[in-house]
Structure 1
């Protein structure tokens, strides 16, 4: 009965209001939001972009999802806790097997029991489908706001590709791309929403007919009224690109990051990496004689190249009066990242006690032994297990606490223990890391984790009064961050780089949290198990589908870093080369010292060669006779 009335409205809170949405995941032809190239995208109910999601803190959200695509699909509600029901988290191969083509899955999002509100988003978490457009914002309104404002808008940023993901991924993971150059976006997008509805294009503009109801880029505008204060919820839905965002002629004050209300923090620019969200307050001007440019510039530092065809800097506008001139101040003097560790949460939560265990994860990329480029934590690239990890956790009984059972890229967490995750980025680029099922305390940063200089690599400070919390953090090159969590949410949770290309080449690990407690709580819905079985995916046992937790025979592994130095085959080849060279040098030396072949010896060798040639001719002629006969 609809999964026990959605687990009795997620264990009640006064039997919350149930918000039900029905989504049919469909292909939409000829979408052209950037006006440069029509392409097929993935939308919902035959339209694109997918509907905005707008709910309240007391709601239980149920997303009834039908898959009309040609590959299995999943949906991930980014930042949601899914308290003890991680099988609704939507990570392919971790929390479910994917919705088979033609089948449906009900995602139950217990917002009412999670204690969450703020700015989030929902996106596909399988087969790169969010690259193809399956992504939208999720706004959760609290019962009481921490800050006062008159109106709010959602600002959606994203990169855009003209080729489908299936084409791009084959070019990316390829021996012809040993350096691992990521696909460069073809365009950037900015568009707006309010109260669950997209804002239309500027009056008089003629946008793409498929997306005619939505204004994009220069066709998009935010209507401001003098003197009002607006909340802008900025969401980066990109697959690759970070953005720098600002509004000419207007000041901004940060009041939220990743669903955490903060004290006001003045800034002239918002640096927002993939999957992050910020809310800012903007007070409108009292002068209506001009409209003002909104800037969303892609951070191209991560791009191997910036093609001549790419316009990385896009503008839309704040409009006060129809027909008023647009004031565009152009570039700012310099870009800078937000020091998110300096943000102060409104709700005071002291730093968790010192960690009982620390996981150090060092990021690296390399050309592997199969010629492709992959990403690694601690020199190990992630592979999807044969059994979704949540099903391993739920079916292994007491063996579920055996870390080996989940594969070499997994860590088991004991219930309610405190853990530090230290991410060290040895790569040359910035990376956004996201932890499913939790918000971590951001308790430490280092500018150079290899340095002995305490100004560059400061010691960890315990007893912080109110450290910042969030679910997605950016780690620049050679920087490190220390993230602290309490293992209070039984389930299986992924930790990964949110650049889609990096996830697909293995920059991920799994945290298997409180396995015994997970088994004692809710049961996995039968339809999830049935959908795995319909795809011939095992539903019990360890990561390799064996009952013995330590038997990982058959588990996908690799590719692995190339082994440098001398190996037997190379030693043999080099020895042969050296021997040949020595013989050649001795021969040259012999001739130089007067060694030669006499005329008689030369005539003898020529006579032997001529006789051998004559014999071969007679033999071949005889063979042809036999063949014709």
Structure 2
């Protein structure tokens, strides 16, 4: 009898993994905890079981996770997304509310129950309800390998290092101030500080003669960050859960949602301590307040008896890009696409005066029914993109097609785009272009495609530039593709990819999936409008506001707002002049006007009485 030894070895390896796999069970209640993350301002953070920061979760490849999340926030919904996990066969565990699940109502519990069969690396988990994770509902999620193929690099110990920006106000208050007609330019809220490992001036201990794997995770809401270490070289070995050939760098640049793992060789002695610096990408800030620290000092400590290091400023760093990185395994570029999706990013105002974000003139608005429920209950009509609504920007993908997403940035801002359920190849990525010279991708005239393109799940789109991504539609599900600057997601910068919906219908969500909807008064069948009798009847669906009146522009809106304010203060000055005996009040009126304009982000914070209005 002939024996297929390769098959036998593969079977034995799989059996060993199944026997060795564990089930990790967590019972967490999300509730407010008083904390002071940056040591400057105390606020209510969202913790688990009365504690904040949230715990890191560490599992091995092949393990099962059972996380019971109880919403103890009393007056707010919540949800949980495991950023970067494919959730194959368990699309209902992906987390974004009104996309793959109904939100978890106050006092309700939802069980996130899934395995991690084929991924290894650095991930994280966070709320996918509004901009809620700005209040601390986020933490690293690490999947460790079980053999050398999983982690083709050697190290002695690892350190998980999270970075974030932080706001002193609660996320709901910041959102209200952001999405208002009094902020017609759409200027993003400026964070108050930088955090490392959920604190300011973090300390990371090193021992001599060690090789450390440092897992960096940007869990921030908005601003990209630079990270660099005094006197130590870094070798990138993993990006967004993808092992790469070692590549030496002297700094990292992480947008919101991105991860890098680097190898760092420690010093041979304990003679001194070193700085590990993090720095805002200040080009993303419309205004830089005078009290905002753009750079923060943290510490690599070898010897507690030695002085802490001074700030270290990096000059002359060698620049690098995704195209300098190569995944392990010589993974070649995918074939020419079967389906190309071209998306133009635009930021503009609608009739309510609010500045919105658009893909192809559509600003994402959540449907009445989660898109996953529509896919599960629409039968044969699930392949018709219309049933998912006019404002969800839904695209239906055929099984195993090569999908190409082209994103042209008609905006002067930088955008980190994240795809749920997949990684993608970066086959083209432009530099930034001047404000008045946006460049779109030309499929007949472009730079040469890389043979082995970088693969990741979050990519940076440069101002006025473009990026081209490819992936294979091999994971049936409803997957959101969105900007991970969460303020831009709140403005509507998202599309939904409905992948092989007929195969998706074989997935069976658990009972509490539907109970979440019932408790929130959300239908458990129907199209984007909740209509289950005629899936093509979208009467009552959620829509974006009507456009501005013809000829009305953003500049006109700002000019009208300023003119109105000036007029009101003109009336105010007349009244004040009549009430106060011979008091020249022009200077005070000018100051009051300046304060109102600053409060509504119409002029920079540093403007003074000499500023031309």
TM range (shorter): 0.7 to 0.9
- 1:66: which partner in 2? 70
Long gaps (5+) in structure 2: 1-13, 554-613
Label 1:153 to 1:566 Cα distance change in 2 as closer, same or farther (>3 A): closer
1:351 to 333, 345, 350: 333
- 2:131: which partner in 1? 128
2:516 equivalent to 1:511: no
Are the counterparts in 1 of residues 98 and 370 from structure 2 also a CA contact under 8 Å? yes
Residues of 2 paired with 1:459 and 1:424: CA distance? Answer: 14
Match runs of 1:255-274 below 5 Å? 255-274=237-256
2:157 to 151, 161, 179: 151
Residues of 2 paired with 1:239 and 1:11: CA distance? Answer: 41
1:141 to 128, 144, 168: 144
- 1:541: which partner in 2? 526
Distance apart, 1:460 and its partner CA: 6.3
Distance apart, 1:347 and its partner CA: 2.7
- 1:579: which partner in 2? none
Distance apart, 1:326 and its partner CA: 3.7
Are the counterparts in 1 of residues 18 and 62 from structure 2 also a CA contact under 8 Å? no
- 1:249: which partner in 2? 231
Runs of 4+ in 1 over 6 A off after TM superposition: 10-13, 448-457
2:362 equivalent to 1:380: yes
Residues of 1 paired with 2:107 and 2:552: CA distance? Answer: 53
Query: Deviation string for 1:486-534 (max 9, x for gaps)?
Result: 1111110000000111101100010001010111x22122221122012
Residues of 1 paired with 2:255 and 2:439: CA distance? Answer: 29
Q: Secondary structure of 1:217's match?
A: coil
- 2:607: which partner in 1? none
2:98 equivalent to 1:93: yes
Label 1:175 to 1:337 Cα distance change in 2 as closer, same or farther (>3 A): farther
Label 1:460 to 1:530 Cα distance change in 2 as closer, same or farther (>3 A): farther
- 1:419: which partner in 2? 403
2:451 equivalent to 1:476: no
Are the counterparts in 1 of residues 406 and 441 from structure 2 also a CA contact under 8 Å? no
Label 1:337 to 1:437 Cα distance change in 2 as closer, same or farther (>3 A): farther
2:277 equivalent to 1:290: no
Label 1:563 to 1:420 Cα distance change in 2 as closer, same or farther (>3 A): farther
1:459 to 435, 440, 446: 446
- 2:510: which partner in 1? 525
Residues of 1 paired with 2:348 and 2:552: CA distance? Answer: 19
Distance apart, 1:217 and its partner CA: 2.7
Task: Count matched residues.
Answer: 530
2:160 equivalent to 1:177: no
- 1:39: which partner in 2? 43
Distance apart, 1:134 and its partner CA: 0.2
Residues of 1 paired with 2:250 and 2:207: CA distance? Answer: 21
Are the counterparts in 1 of residues 439 and 465 from structure 2 also a CA contact under 8 Å? no
Label 1:74 to 1:504 Cα distance change in 2 as closer, same or farther (>3 A): same
Match runs of 1:14-29 below 5 Å? 14=18, 16-29=21-34
Instruction: Name the TM-score, length of structure 2 as normaliser.
Output: 0.83
Which protein has the larger Cα radius of gyration, Structure 1 or Structure 2? 1
1:235 to 217, 223, 232: 217
- 2:477: which partner in 1? 491
Distance apart, 1:443 and its partner CA: 1.2
Query: Deviation string for 1:42-70 (max 9, x for gaps)?
Result: 01010000111111112111111111112
Label 1:457 to 1:338 Cα distance change in 2 as closer, same or farther (>3 A): farther
Label 1:456 to 1:540 Cα distance change in 2 as closer, same or farther (>3 A): closer
Are the counterparts in 2 of residues 270 and 337 from structure 1 also a CA contact under 8 Å? no
Which has the larger displacement, 69-78 or 323-332? 323-332
Query: Deviation string for 1:568-618 (max 9, x for gaps)?
Result: xxxxxxxxxxxxxxxxxxxxxxxxxxxxxxxxxxxxxxxxxxxxxxxxxxx
Q: Secondary structure of 1:421's match?
A: strand
Residues of 1 paired with 2:438 and 2:358: CA distance? Answer: 22
Query: Deviation string for 1:462-494 (max 9, x for gaps)?
Result: 6x5422111000111022111111111111000
2:257 equivalent to 1:275: yes
Residues of 1 paired with 2:508 and 2:240: CA distance? Answer: 29
Match runs of 1:358-377 below 5 Å? 358-377=340-359
Distance apart, 1:285 and its partner CA: 1.5
2:442 equivalent to 1:446: no
Distance apart, 1:452 and its partner CA: 8.5
Which has the larger displacement, 261-270 or 280-289? 280-289
2:313 equivalent to 1:331: yes
Query: Deviation string for 1:141-180 (max 9, x for gaps)?
Result: 0112210011110111011111001110110011111011
Residues of 1 paired with 2:318 and 2:484: CA distance? Answer: 21
Long gaps (5+) in structure 1: 1-9, 192-213, 568-629
